[in-house]
C-alpha cells in the first residue's frame, strides 16, 4: 500500500529564521492521517535562514538522523562533539541518557535539511554523535545505506534503532527496483526531481508511506534525489 503525502498537504510552521514542513503530525492539531510508521515518528523538512539556528537544547532516548540537502550545518554538543556537515552528508546522534546540542546555519545561503527521529530499541545508553561524507556519485542509479541499526550494513553510520536510512540519485529515465525490509514499512521522500513509484506520480518534496509491499519499481521522470527510511515496525516504546 502506498499513501502519497503531498508537499502542499504537509503541516507547516514559519518562525522567520526557520521554515518547516512536517511529514508526520507533530501534535494533536496536525494532520492525523500523517501518522508514525513504527519507530519512525518525525521527518521534518527544515529551511534555516542565514545566521539562524537552534540554540542549545536537550534530547534523550531518541535516534536523530540529519540529512543535509543544501548549505552547511554547524553542530556542537555537551559531550564535546563539534562538526560541519555539508550537502549530501549525514549526521547521527544517539541521545541515550541525555545530550544537549546546538545546530546552526554555518553558510551564506539558506540551509535545507531533513531531520529524522527514530525511537531506539532500548532506552538509555551513552550519548554519541558522528557524521560522514557520502558522495552522491556513489549512489548513482541505486540506493546506498547511509545510516543503519543493522550490523550487515557495513560502511553506514550506526544508529540504535531497527531502521536504516538510504539515499539514491537517479537520472531521468533510470529505473530501480527496491526491496524493503520484511514485515516492515518505509517512507520515501523526493528531495529533488520527480518520480513514478508503482504507477504513482510523486513530485518534488513529496513523501510516500509504504506498507505491506515487498518491493517497488521506482522510475525517475526527471533527474532525482531520493531519501528512504525503512523500519521493521518495532520499537521499545
Sequence spans of domains, the chain? 2-231
> Collapsing DSSP states into helix, strand and coil, what is residue 7?
helix
Please give the pLDDT value at position 35: 92
**Which of the pair, 184 or 131, is modelled with greater confidence?**
131
Q: Which residue has better confidence, 43 or 28?
A: 43
What is the reported pLDDT for 235? Answer: 44
Q: How many Cβ atoms are within 10 Å of 196's Cβ, its own excluded?
A: 14
Mean pLDDT of the region 188-211:
97
In sequence order, the 6+-apart residues with CB closer than 8 A to the CB of 182 are 214
Q: Per-residue confidence at 135, pLDDT binned at 50, 70, 90? A: confident
DSSP 83-99: EEEETT-EEEEE-TT-E
pTM of the model: 0.95
Mean pLDDT rounded to a whole number for the chain: 94
Q: What is the CATH number of domain 2-231?
A: 2.60.120.10
- Residue written as grid cell 531497527: 162
- Average pLDDT for 8-20: 96
| CB proximity list for 97: less than 8 A, separation 6 or greater | 60, 124, 125, 126, 127
Q: Which residues pair with 218 in a beta bridge?
A: 176, 197
Q: Tens of pLDDT along 72-109?
A: 999 999 999 999 999 989 999 999 999 999 999 999 99
The position carrying cell 522510475 is 219
User: What's the pLDDT score for residue 233?
Assistant: 64
Give the pLDDT band (50/70/90) at residue 60: very high
CB contact at 8 A, 157 and 147: yes
Q: Once rounded to an integer, what is the mean pLDDT over residues 55-69? A: 97
Q: What is the pLDDT of residues 151-184, one digit of tens each?
A: 999 999 999 999 999 999 999 999 999 999 987 8
Rounded to whole angstroms, the maximal C-alpha distance in the chain is 48
115-129 pLDDT, tens digit each: 999 999 999 999 999
Question: Which triple of cell numbers denotes residue 79?
Answer: 559531550
Rounded Cα distance between 97 and 203, Å, is 39
What integer is the mean pLDDT of 64-78? Answer: 97
| Whole-number pLDDT of residue 236 | 38
> What is the mean pLDDT of the segment spanning 62-79?
97
- Residue 200 pLDDT greater than 90, yes or no: yes
Amino acid at each position: 500500500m502506498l499513501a502519497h503525502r503531498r508537499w502542499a498537504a504537509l503541516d507547516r510552521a514559519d518562525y522567520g529564521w526557520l521554515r518547516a514542513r512536517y511529514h508526520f503530525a507533530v501534535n494533536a492539531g496536525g494532520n492525523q492521517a500523517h501518522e508514525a510508521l513504527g519507530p519512525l515518528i518525525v521527518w521534518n523538512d527544515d529551511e534555516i535562514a542565514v545566521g539562524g539556528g537552534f540554540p542549545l537544547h536537550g534530547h534523550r532516548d531518541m535516534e536523530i538522523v540529519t540529512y543535509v540537502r543544501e548549505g552547511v550545518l554547524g553542530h556542537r554538543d555537551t559531550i564535546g562533539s563539534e562538526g560541519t556537515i555539508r550537502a549530501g552528508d549525514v549526521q547521527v546522534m544517539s541521545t541515550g541518557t541525555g545530550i544537549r546540542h546546538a545546530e546552526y546555519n554555518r553558510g551564506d545561503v539558506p540551509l535545507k535539511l531533513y531531520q529524522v527521529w527514530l525511537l531506539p530499541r532500548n532506552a538509555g545508553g551513552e550519548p554519541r554523535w558522528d557524521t560522514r561524507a557520502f558522495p552522491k556519485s556513489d549512489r548513482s542509479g541505486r540506493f546506498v545505506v547511509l545510516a543503519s541499526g543493522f550490523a550487515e550494513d557495513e560502511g553506514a553510520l550506526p544508529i540504535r534503532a531497527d531502521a536504516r536510512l538510504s539515499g539514491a540519485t537517479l537520472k531521468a529515465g533510470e529505473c530501480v527496483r527496491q526491496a524493503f525490509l520484511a514485515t516492515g514499512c518505509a517512507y520515501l521522500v523526493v528531495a529533488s526531481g520527480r518520480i513514478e513509484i508503482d504507477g504513482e506520480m510523486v513530485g518534488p518534496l513529496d513523501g510516500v508511506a509504504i506498507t505491506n509491499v515487498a518491493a517497488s519499481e521506482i522510475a525517475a521522470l526527471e533527474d532525482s534525489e531520493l531519501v528512504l527510511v525503512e523500519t521493521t515496525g518495532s520499537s521499545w516504546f
